[in-house]
Amino acid sequence: MPGLMLLDTPSLYFRAYYGVPESITAPDGMPVNAVRGLIDMIATLVRAHSPGELVACMDADWRPAFRVAALPSYKAHRVATGDEEEVPDTLAPQVPVIEQVLDALGIARIGVPGYEADDVIGTCTARAAGRVDIVTGDRDLFQLVDDSRPVRVLYTVRGIRNLQIFDEAAITAKYGIPGRAYADYATLRGDPSDGLPGVAGIGDKTAAALVTRFGSLEAILAALASGDAAGFPASARTKLSAALDYLAVAPTVVRVAPDAPVPGIDLALPGKPRDPEALVALADRYGLDGPLNRLLDVLAAGR
């Protein structure tokens, strides 16, 4: 049955940027590899999965203040100047073009001030009434997987044409944890790519053992506070006790928001462009005829 597909758009256009040669340029010489790559990715996804609704979720704020206030190290290593994200010089000018193309096509594009694309995805997932497929290269979104709805992650680590489908069983098989426990597992073991330190001395195996034994971070902390040593691997109690300050704030950073102020807009997959004239102008200016025609053919076939 057609469902909702949520695109972690920054994750996808970064992948497109690094996966498509920078020699792909517009008539004026501007690199458009990320633009072209993303358009082709969307065509491939729609053709393969036939969603009824599609949302390009955006980072209106790549490093939200509420997360930085909780954990100042959050993404700090990726700051270029001020509070701007370090982005390749030839990618930054392509992002506005991506936004213009999506708008001209009529594909829903949502970014919420003060929130990341992950939070838009989390909120749209919480609101959805049916099946949800989340397309991302970010493991953080594994926390949203839920067989009962169902919510799956289409993971792009092997490329957009060879997606890994993560349901609860796949998460259990890969990480040895209950299928919906990824956020607590990530909190314990940390994630250097996001500046999330984790609990010093708690690695993947111990984090998985703790989450499996107790079921949640909340239950782990409750057992720790009660003085009950049962179920704690050797020395884990001491390591957890030393990290209580971190564990008090980390969930604010790790968990995606289910209640961001996402506007209520039409999410239906368009059968034809919203603004054909603008799309033709963009195609001419940036040399996008090929990928746009491929995507338009796929969209028209779905209607």
Q: What is the pLDDT of residue 288?
A: 98
- For 182-254, which CATH superfamily applies? 5' to 3' exonuclease, C-terminal subdomain (1.10.150.20)
Do residues 230 and 44 lie in contact, with contact meaning Cβ atoms separated by under 8 Å?
A: no
Taken as a whole, the chain contains a residue count of: 303
Q: What is the pLDDT of residue 1?
A: 64
Q: What is the pLDDT of residue 98?
A: 98
Nearest one of 210, 216, 255, 200 to 233, comparing CA atoms: 210
The neighbouring-strand residues paired with 133 are 5, 152
Q: Is 275 left (phi over 0), alpha (psi -120 to 50) or beta?
A: beta
Other C-beta atoms within 10 Å of 179: how many?
18
Residue 278 reports pLDDT greater than 90: yes
Q: What are the sequence ranges of the domains in the chain?
A: 4-176+256-288, 182-254
> In the predicted model, what is the mean pLDDT of residues 266-294?
97
Q: What is the pLDDT of residue 269?
A: 96
* Residue 303: band (very low, low, confident or very high) from pLDDT cuts 50, 70, 90: low
Looking from the CA of 136 toward its CB, the CA atoms found within 13 Å total 25
Residue 78 reports pLDDT greater than 90: no
Instruction: Give CA separation, 169 vs 142, 165, 174, in Å.
Output: 12, 10, 9
Q: What is the DSSP secondary-structure string of 47-97?
A: HHH--SEEEEE--S-SS-HHHHHH-TTTTGGGB-STT-B---TTTTTHHHH
Percent pLDDT > 70 in the chain is 98
Do residues 24 and 280 lie in contact, with contact meaning Cβ atoms separated by under 8 Å?
A: no
> In the predicted model, what is the mean pLDDT of residues 68-75?
94
Q: Take residue 242 and report the two structure tokens written for it.
A: 């030393």
Percent pLDDT > 90 in the chain is 89
Residue 34 reports pLDDT greater than 70: yes
Q: What is the pLDDT of residue 182?
A: 97
Q: Take residue 174 and report the two structure tokens written for it.
A: 């890969």
Measured between alpha carbons, how far is 105 from 221 in angstroms, rounded to an integer?
49
Q: What is the pLDDT of residue 80?
A: 75
* Residue 2: band (very low, low, confident or very high) from pLDDT cuts 50, 70, 90: confident
Residue 127 reports pLDDT greater than 80: yes
Measured between alpha carbons, how far is 85 from 95 in angstroms, rounded to an integer?
13
Residue 20: enclosing H or E segment and its boundaries? none
* Confidence (pTM): 0.95
Do residues 187 and 250 lie in contact, with contact meaning Cβ atoms separated by under 8 Å?
A: yes
Measured between alpha carbons, how far is 35 from 254 in angstroms, rounded to an integer?
29
Q: What is the pLDDT of residue 276?
A: 97
Higher pLDDT, 246 or 234: 246
Grouping H, G, I as helix, E, B as strand and the rest as coil, residue 284 is: helix
> Lowest-pLDDT range, 60-69, 84-93, 162-171, 207-216?
84-93
In the chain, DSSP assigns E strands to 4-8, 53-57, 108-110, 132-136, 151-155, 164-166
CATH class of 4-176+256-288: alpha beta
In the β-sheet with 4-8, what is the strand arrangement from edge to edge? 108-110, 53-57, 4-8, 132-136, 151-155, 164-166
Condensed to tens digits (0 to 9), the pLDDT of residues 217-242 reads 999 999 999 887 777 887 899 999 99
